A and B are shown apart, each in its own frame.
Chain A
Amino acid sequence: MKIYIYIQTKTPPSLNFIFFFLIFINTVVFSQNEERIEDFTDLDFSGLINKEIYTGSKHKTKISEIPASVILIERKEIEDLGYHSLEEILQNISGFYMIDDYYWLGSVNFGVRGFYSSGEFSHVTILINGVNQVGDSRDFYPMSKINIPVESIDRIEIIRGPMSVLYGRGAFFGAINIITNEIDLKKPKNQLSALIENDQSYRTFLRLSDQLQGFQYSLNASYAQINSVDVSFSEMTNDAVFLQQMGVSANSRTKGILDDLQKHINFSGTFKNLQLDISIIEGTKEVFDGLPSIGSGSKLASYSNNFSLAYKKDFSEQFQLNTKFGFFKHQYCIDYQIIHTDAYAYNHLSSNSYEAEINALFVPKHNIEILTGLHRRSIVRLMQVYDYPVFGDLYSNTKFTLPTDVNQNALFSQLSWQVLEKLKFVGGIRLEYNEAYEMVYQKSMGTSVENTQSGEYINNKIEFIPQAAFIYHLNKYNIFKLLYGEATKQPSIMQNAVLLGTSQVQLETSKIQTFELNYMHTQNDLFLINLSLFHNKLNNLISKHNEYLLNEQMWILRSANEGKLETSGAEMNFQINIITNKIKLNTGIVYQKTKNMEVGFEDIKPGYSPDLLVQSSINYQFNNFITININSIFTDAMETKWDNSPINPTASDFSPKGRIGNSISAFSVTNINLQFHHLFHKNIFINLKISNIFDQKISYPTTINNIWLEKGSIGKGRIFNVHAGIKF
């Protein structure tokens, strides 16, 4: 029996044309009377009282007020450093480090404060304009689903520490909120630009935005082709026999089989009390799914549509109500090119979800705020279909479905109390309850080994997630924060799915506790220092084993609660502006030690946990026209995962397999970006950037996603690029 899937991939060009034409017309019409000064001094009392106001987007919460350790990245910094992608921005954030293992769902992964989540990037919530970008099937944040062009980013808030009380289950290590709808009326609001690299990668970008009498919108669109790293397979594995069996010669290169095509449109509009966010993201990324690709590469097509509508109403100064509704659609489809040209293999995963939240802000006294709310997310019509006849009947025509919806419910409340003029207490709790759901695997349909496995995930426990912070303003320049937080993360649907038909017990919820002391000193934008001492305790971590056994010719898929880690660390960030803001220095240093606390494994250093991370940049503005920026990241040596399964139990060799790959040496990468502003015309800019200027070899440690790359996967070497455009 064959399973046919219909996926709509094209939108009629006429609709696209109308879409852009109308937006253009709106832009032109709205822009006609923007320069006037709003002066209401001649109005009488009732005239002034009855005026409706809109709040400018620049009035945002200061980082000193947030009960967490926070880093802000503004548009200027993104432009100064010539960042190309969200991945590049994140790996320049203190405490973050990137691992690109050519993951089969098209994402890179990030470690945060010494912890790297096994399998996929799932422990930091990513929001765009407040809209959660989670991929529901694995409860993860794949970059292929987000693909946001950096030119559209006005600001990124990176909030570290468990933030589950407000952001929910994904915010194990914090939350990243990307803002694309802030408009500075003093600067050009629109942009048209293009970037090209010497490896023929390119990206085009268009932004249209405006703010007029309360109606504010931003529309960002991009189209990008990112070409793959070009390295020999022999640089990543010594197993020539395996490569040969997989139809690849050791001398073959990755060029043309790890390319990435990205299409992204996002719209954010606010008017009065309404906010609408829509994004349409498509991409085709070439990946390695546990095996090397041949020919033109295994192609992962991804489609992601997000729709969110929010409404805010002030009933009085003491009571404000916020409501939010979202609909999200996400599809993946992989057409494999593996082993030999006639081999057929296919995998499709799709899910729809709805999200609703209502929260109320009460202000019973002028120094007390209580935010309380209800949240519900329903995952509906989740389905995975895969057909790998190349691996035999056992892997053919298999369908995974959820007969029932997956409902996640939460009740949260946060108290913010200004105890004294200089002392603030913020405490919160979140109660999370996941309803039980059924899962069905119809395996090897139409073959002699056809079978159906079904089961139910039941977690009747209501998870209790507390958080507390004391914020002390010694004066306006010195702020201390004492932070305690917990977060939990339930196993994802697909983590539960792989246990169907096995004797393994149901997975439990992962937990983290964080203690942090943060000190911030700021001197009128000239000098900023941010120090943190942190201690994280992680328990019940879900570890995934996903490997192909060549001799048995079968896959082993397994998830288990077997991780227990503790990390202690110190983080220092400082920023100095000298010579009347002509030179700006930024440095972030993190030193951390992660210990394996699992009984019997205390002496085994946890994988993917570098002791030292350094990110630094220097920006020098020669004059109003030319700026030079150099940034550099250092990532310490890393071990890979320890595999404790026996080498060969049938031959009574029960000694553990040990590390799944080689240790990776420390590496540093330096980039230089030369900016020319107002070239030829006042609004034209040109950036010349050299990434990885010293052509350092970037090796990422072997992961379970591509265990055959035992020498590690490799990042791009030196790349030249030109980025030019006009702001208008």
Chain B
Amino acid sequence: MTLTVSIRHQFSGFNLDITFNAGSGVTALFGRSGAGKSTIAQAISGAFAPMEGHIAVNGEVLFSTDQRVNRPAHRRGIGYVFQQDLLFPHFSVQGNLEYAQRYGRSGTGATNLSVVLDILGIGHLLHRRPAGLSGGERQRVAIARALLSNPSLLVMDEPLSALDDPRKAEILPYIERLRDHSKVPILYISHSVSEIARLADQVVAIDSGRVIKMGSATDVFADPNIVPQLGLQSAGALLTATIEKHEDDGLTKLNSASGPIYLPELDAEIGQTVRVRVLAQDVMLSTVQPENISALNVIQGRVSAIKFGRGPGAIVSIESAGNTILARVTRRSVQALNLEIGSSCFAIIKSVSVAPNQIGRG
């Protein structure tokens, strides 16, 4: 599947000029609120016609100002999950799902009813009314409904932002399962770094109406240049590792190309690949092998980039056996340690600093 989007639109005091492609899996459209993400989602789904542009899915042109094409929303085959669940209140859960099956595109593809019910865990809710469901359940039904219309692409526009943190944590695993078990490609729009770090295969980062960085999630998160867009508190590279052993003292040992990593007990099976977001502000640097310290994880590597901001801080990028780790340290420390590109260096990560919600299934 390929989605190609190239749109330009002039709002008062704001220009949107976006070009990107998306393949199978989850492509995240990331940016702060007001960056123009939702406008892009609306343009793809047919709720908004930009002044100029071209949108195609699998070569089928949905919108093109050159070719004078503007296919109406109901003939685009784009599943759309909104911020609010938008279930039809006068139908039961089953009625909502049947609506999608009835009017959606013919053929079932990967979106067979029992599979969808199973992936999203909503089989027991079929006879309930939307008003009686929790926010998380409603959003899962909304996702199932969109899937059952058999879309060629599922657009999820901030699907979790209206939910509180426990509800978010409840839904994320379902979206991960959706990514892993259904063949429908997903365009996931969010301003939340942690959601994207967990879910995305590809990331398109957007700022004030423009694409500022595009690539695999690992590459985008490892780029010190987009730290300002991610926010200093949220920046952090992704480390890929495999679960090796759950140890007796409550720690889980993971194997990464850069050596073993110990984290607080993970709810994952042995052999499973996970993706750990290591926040840049949780990483300490040392030029010598540290001894007698409490931190369990020490990763050896070389400095590959140093980026100074306006303030006293700096972001140091460390390359280690194909993994990248970002460390947020002070300008003073960079000078004191004499860090330069190519310097050998040890990154120190406290096990307990990695929260479970920063770990996604690979």
Bound together: no
- Report which A residues bind B (CB closer than 8 A): none
